């Protein structure tokens, strides 16, 4: 699991972020919440999280200075900035400091999930996922689970639902994906969906909006973002190249 620290001076918002976002499905675990940006620097140095989700507007030290201070300690932590009042200049400064992504409040679950998916892909290359299990053989129930995903990739499900269906704990499922595939549940399913989408585009049987639905995406614009992130081009461009 990749470690996440949440920094926001409003504790209610910080806890909501920690509880609502599907961290585990994407291979992340929240290791702490901090409401004081000055103390947050100490927490980052102590816990060494893989990624920090931080608010921009905070007393004592804003998100930019907080990020800069952590960087000065030589930590290669990824940063996702959260802001309700961000400007173009704020975003520009953030990306100049090599921040990973910039999200506007109130957070939209789809947007956060997309960022987490991209983060997991980047981190899996920097730090190959380590599973907290020792067995070398594939669990039969896990094999059944992956076969199920290959057949019903278009369905909407949660890690908990899959766990109940196949008699496996959520954490154990995550560990198995890390150990045997060096990926997360979400990335595994997205890969299946995107490969199927590309196949349908090449066949030119359905419209792009119909293909999105066939692959489990009711929102075409979200499908467009996921496809572009996976293939480096929009579905319409992919179609034009085939």
| 9 & 85 share domain | yes
| 50 & 112 share domain | yes
Q: Phi/psi zone of residue 143: left (φ > 0), alpha (ψ -120 to 50 degrees), beta?
A: alpha
Q: What are the pLDDT digits (tens) for 153-175?
A: 999 888 999 999 999 999 899 88
Whether the per-residue pLDDT at 151 is higher than 70: the answer is yes
Give 242's pLDDT tier (boundaries 50, 70, 90): low
| 64 & 170 share domain | no
| 174 & 196 share domain | no
| 116 & 8 share domain | yes
Q: Does 133 reside within a domain?
A: no
| Domain count for the chain | 3
Provide the percentage of residues in the chain whose pLDDT is more than 90. 66
What pLDDT score was predicted for residue 178?
85
| 26 & 77 share domain | yes
Q: What is the mean pLDDT of residues 139-165?
A: 93
| 15 & 112 share domain | yes
Q: What is the mean pLDDT of residues 137-143?
A: 85
Residue 54 pairs in a beta bridge with: 7, 81
Whether the per-residue pLDDT at 86 is higher than 80: the answer is no
Mean pLDDT over each residue of the chain, to the nearest integer: 90
Whether the per-residue pLDDT at 214 is higher than 60: the answer is yes
Closest C-alpha to 41, from 18, 64, 67, 62: 67
CATH number of the domain that residue 122 is part of: 3.40.50.2300
| 166 & 198 share domain | no
The domain of 228 spans 187-240
In angstroms, the CA 80 to CA 206 distance is 37
């Amino acid at each position: 699991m990749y470690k996440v620290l949440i920094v926001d001076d409003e504790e209610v918002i910080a806890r909501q972020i920690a509880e609502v976002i599907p961290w585990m499905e994407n291979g992340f675990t929240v290791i702490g919440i901090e409401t004081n940006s000055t103390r947050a620097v100490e927490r980052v140095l102590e816990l060494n999280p893989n990624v920090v989700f931080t608010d921009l507007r905070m007393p004592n030290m804003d998100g930019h200075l907080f990020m800069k201070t952590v960087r000065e300690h030589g930590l290669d932590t990824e940063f996702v900035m959260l802001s309700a009042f961000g400007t173009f200049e704020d975003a520009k400064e953030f990306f100049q400091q090599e921040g990973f992504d910039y999200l506007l409040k109130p957070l939209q679950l789809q947007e956060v999930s997309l960022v987490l998916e991209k983060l997991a892909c980047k981190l899996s290359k920097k730090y190959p996922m380590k599973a907290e299990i020792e067995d070398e053989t594939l669990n039969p129930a896990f094999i059944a689970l992956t076969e199920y995903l290959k057949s019903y990739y278009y369905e909407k499900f949660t890690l908990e639902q899959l766990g109940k269906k196949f008699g496996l704990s959520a954490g154990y499922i995550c560990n198995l994906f890390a150990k045997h595939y060096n990926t997360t549940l979400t990335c595994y399913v997205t890969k299946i969906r995107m490969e199927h989408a590309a196949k349908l585009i090449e066949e030119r049987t359905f419209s792009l909006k119909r293909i999105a639905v066939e692959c489990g995406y009711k929102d075409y614009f979200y499908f467009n973002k996921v496809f572009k992130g996976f293939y480096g081009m929009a579905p319409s461009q992919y179609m034009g190249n085939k």
